[in-house]
Amino acid sequence: MASLTGKTLFITGASRGIGRAIALKAAADGANVAIASKTSDPHPKLVGTIHSVAREIEEAGGRALALEVDVREETEIAAAVAKAAEAFGGIDILINNASALFLARTPDTPMKRFDLMHQVNVRGTFATTQACHPHLKQAANPHVLVLSPPLTLEPDWFADHCAYTMSKYGMSMCVLGMAREFAADGIGVNALWPSTMIETAATKAMGVPQAGCRKTDIMADAAYAILTRDARACTGNFFIDQAVLEQEGITDFEPYAVVPGTPLERDLFVA
């Protein structure tokens, strides 16, 4: 069975939530994980730092490198990627997980929030992939996984949070273009999105109802299944977490917890 033993993962936004869950899943195989996130010091409202996750990775059996990085700054990205490659002898996998969230209709979206989402979500994904590309080209089974949705141009996905959806679709457009662009390099580029809302610090901070949310484990399990596939044969896909596990014959994942009056992912478009 394929595993992530000895592989090096560079994960943005890994100090909490889905990024942390993927990091710990890989660490259980003995993987090397570069935690590229802004939170170096404890946050008053959000649990987790690059250092706390580094300790968890090492306790789980992996090797960790804590890197304080703002993905809006390409110089910080470049420096972090260079440190990770030097520390672990290369980079095999990039997880573009870092994302800014602000759910509001157009009249209620301050332009600073619009700018933040596009700088972190779209620009950060593009810049980090660009910086990792030379190292991924040298890897045996290189993958780029982006936490973004399928490109379905339906007005309902945009109507209540146009700015946020535009930024997430920008990440998905990176997948669409880079999968074709990097095919000759043997780099698999795919997207992963939840079938229903995932409980994270970001959704809690935004006041999104947590009833009916799934835990981050299902996303980590789905990511693991994708990242252990042949990158040349697995690229350009827009995966949904539950569908990935069902393809793998895994059926013991957390079921939907449908609570009347609360939104599911298909209704709210949040991860």
Q: For 36-62, how does the pLDDT look when each residue is reduced to its tens digit (9 = 90+)?
A: 998 877 666 667 799 999 999 999 999
Question: Chain-wide mean pLDDT for the chain?
Answer: 90
Q: What is the pTM of this model?
A: 0.91
Region 242-257: mean pLDDT is 83
pLDDT band per the 50, 70, 90 thresholds, residue 268: very low
Look at the alpha carbons of 256, 262, 268, 271 in this order and tell me if their dihedral is positive or negative.
negative
Asked whether residue 95 carries a pLDDT value surpassing 80, the answer given is yes
pLDDT band per the 50, 70, 90 thresholds, residue 270: very low
Q: Which residues pair with 65 in a beta bridge?
A: 34
What is the rounded CA–CA span in Å between residue 129 and residue 95? 9
DSSP 71-128: TT-HHHHHHHHHHHHHHHTS--EEEE---------GGG--HHHHHHHIIIIIIHHHHH
Closest CA relative to residue 101, chosen from 199, 202, 201, 200: 202
- pLDDT reported for residue 209: 62
The residues near 37 (Cβ < 8 Å, ≥ 6 apart) are 12, 13, 14, 15, 19, 49, 50, 67, 68, 69, 98
Q: What is the largest CA-CA distance in the chain?
A: 52
Catalytic residue among 164, 169, 224, 256: 164
Q: What is the pLDDT of residues 179-236, one digit of tens each?
A: 999 999 999 999 999 988 787 766 666 566 666 678 899 999 999 999 999 999 999 9
Asked whether residue 3 carries a pLDDT value surpassing 80, the answer given is yes
Angstrom CA distances, 217 to 112, 152, 261, stand at 32, 25, 25
Q: What is the pLDDT of residues 110-127, one digit of tens each?
A: 999 999 999 999 999 999
Asked whether residue 90 carries a pLDDT value surpassing 80, the answer given is yes
CB atoms within 10 A of CB 75: 9
- Per the annotation, the verdict on 164 as an active-site residue is yes
- pLDDT reported for residue 139: 98
Q: What is the pLDDT of residues 142-173, one digit of tens each?
A: 999 999 999 988 888 788 899 999 999 999 99
- pLDDT reported for residue 234: 98
